[in-house]
């Protein structure tokens, strides 16, 4: 594993980096998972919400690699500066959303801007941690990411109950508070530990690897990794169908917003064991094996949700998050460091996030369309078939990528 720090893990830097993850994933879960609840309350239809989410995620998938390229190559626009800019935008849009709640069209546009800025932070936050680990800082990434799952779980329960009691009208204020805390945590971290790229480093003058690659050049150079990304897109189509339209799935078995919050909380809690011990798992299993296990677990979760006729079964299905999302998220971050050249890793992180984002685009469109014209069961059946395809593509890409790595060696 290229960039698992050999330095003794520092509890202080891990704690401060974990604080960023903890606050960011609360903000992420609040804005993303409650978007349907909020917009339904504003009289938007399921198909309209699907279109809004699709446009948001399409632009996010385009914006993320562009931002990553600036973070890699432009001294003026460093990763830390870009992260603070987009966090500040998210904070500002949250407050603006509250004050434009009376306007139907403006309200949706502001929510779109909020989601776009929030999603762009994701690869920057992962890249920030990898940059410090690369430079020898003892960050335990799995522990930090698990803190995000823990706070996400708490947020889901608390926010679900608040919305159930007070309605969705106050959601923008909750968003503002969470993004403000995330921005403050990031500033605290960067002041305590100066960003490594600010220090001059010696680079070899003769580079055999082209640092700036277009999407086509990247796909040709890393064909196995690109196939893996296509598989990720397919898997995350169904993952996002379930997440975005969870309220409709919950309602179909007699539940409410409170039960939806509980379902998301269960998923977040069961992520913790594997995320906390991910470094230990890497010493016992290959990263490729863990990612393939996660692919099958994603599909199993969809199948169980399809057969659910009660809240209990939905809760059990959410438990598969332990083997799916909990292995994929830290695994995909570390996988980039083994599958790609050092010069392309931040872009690889961005493309990975973009793949999950494209999955969200298609998931919101497909889910919204199917809910408008068919049923919950039909939506989940289509999602299962898509997830099966994604699982095979992801596994094939990983195997091809491993073969290419062996051939190069």
Per-residue pLDDT tens for 265-299? 888 888 888 888 887 888 889 989 999 999 999 99
The total number of structural domains in the chain stands at 1
Is 4 part of a structural domain of the chain?
A: no
| Region of poorest pLDDT, from 46-50, 197-201, 293-297, 381-385 | 197-201
What is the average per-residue pLDDT within 99-106? 74
d(CA 281, CA 66): 33
Mean pLDDT within 241-261: 87
Q: How does DSSP classify residue 3?
A: T
Q: Each residue of 8-21: pLDDT tens digit?
A: 457 889 999 999 99
Max mean pLDDT among 16-25, 93-102, 156-165 falls in 16-25
**203 in a structural domain:** no
How does pLDDT run across 312-358, given as a tens digit for each residue? 999 999 999 999 998 998 888 888 878 776 667 777 888 888 898 88
Residue 244 counted as domain residue: yes
Assess whether pLDDT exceeds 90 at residue 260: no
Report yes or no on 182 lying in a domain: yes
Q: Which residues constitute the domain of residue 46?
A: 11-197+214-408
Mean pLDDT of the chain: 83
> Does some domain include residue 284?
yes
Examine the pLDDT at 198 and tell me if it is beyond 70.
no
Residue 128 — pLDDT band, cuts 50, 70, 90? confident
Answer whether residue 164 is part of any domain: yes
CATH number at residue 72: 1.20.1250.20
Q: Is residue 66 part of a domain?
A: yes
Averaged pLDDT for residues 145-172: 85
H, E, C per residue of 116-174 = HHHHHHHHHHHHHHHHHHHCCCCCCHHHHHHHHHHHHHHHHHHHHHHHHHHCHHHHHHH
Contact criterion met (CB below 8 Å) for 260 and 324: no
Q: Span 39-53, mean pLDDT?
A: 82
Residue 202 forms part of a structural domain: no
Distance CA 182, CA 210 (A): 35
The whole model's pTM is what?
Answer: 0.75
Residue 203 scores a pLDDT above 70: no
Buried b (16+ CB within 10 A) or exposed e, 7-20: eeebeebbbbbbbb
Confidence of residue 209 (pLDDT cuts 50, 70, 90): low
87 versus 407: the higher-pLDDT residue is 87
């Amino acid at each position: 594993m290229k960039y698992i720090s050999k330095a003794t893990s520092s509890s202080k830097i891990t704690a401060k980096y974990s604080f960023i993850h903890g606050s960011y994933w609360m903000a992420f879960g609040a804005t993303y998972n409650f978007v349907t609840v909020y917009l339904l309350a504003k009289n938007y239809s399921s198909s309209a919400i699907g279109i809004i989410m699709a446009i948001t995620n399409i632009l996010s998938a385009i914006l993320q690699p562009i931002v990553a390229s600036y973070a890699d190559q432009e001294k003026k626009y460093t990763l830390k500066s870009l992260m603070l800019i987009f966090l500040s935008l998210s904070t500002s849009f949250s407050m603006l959303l509250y004050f434009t709640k009376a306007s139907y069209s403006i309200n949706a546009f502001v929510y779109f801007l909020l989601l776009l800025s929030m999603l762009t932070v994701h690869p920057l936050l992962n890249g920030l941690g990898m940059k410090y680990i690369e430079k020898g800082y003892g960050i335990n990434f799995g522990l930090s990411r698990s803190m995000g799952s823990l706070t996400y779980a708490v947020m889901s329960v608390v926010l679900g109950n608040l919305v159930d009691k007070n309605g969705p009208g106050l959601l923008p204020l909750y968003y503002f508070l969470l993004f403000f805390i995330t921005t403050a945590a990031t500033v605290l971290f960067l002041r305590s530990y100066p960003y490594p790229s600010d220090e001059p480093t010696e680079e070899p003058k003769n580079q055999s690897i082209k640092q700036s690659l277009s999407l086509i050049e990247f796909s040709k150079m890393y064909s196995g990794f690109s196939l893996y990304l296509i598989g990720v897109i397919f898997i995350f189509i169904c993952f996002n169908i379930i997440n975005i339209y969870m309220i409709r799935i919950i309602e179909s078995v007699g539940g409410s917003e409170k039960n939806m919050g509980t379902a998301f909380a269960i998923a977040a809690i069961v992520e913790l064991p594997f995320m906390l011990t991910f470094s230990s798992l890497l010493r016992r299993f290959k990263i490729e094996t863990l990612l393939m296990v996660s692919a099958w677990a994603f599909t199993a979760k969809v199948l169980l949700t399809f057969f659910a006729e009660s809240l209990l079964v939905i809760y059990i299905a959410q438990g598969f998050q332990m083997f799916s999302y909990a292995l994929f998220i830290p695994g995909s971050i570390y996988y980039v460091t083994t599958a790609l050249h050092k010069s392309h890793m931040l872009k690889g992180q961005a493309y990975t996030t973009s793949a999950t984002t494209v999955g969200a685009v298609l998931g919101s469109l497909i889910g919204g369309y199917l809910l408008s014209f068919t049923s919950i069961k039909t939506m989940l059946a289509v999602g299962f078939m898509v997830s099966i395809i994604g699982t095979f593509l992801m596994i094939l890409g990983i195997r091809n990528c491993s073969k290419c790595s062996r051939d190069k060696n």
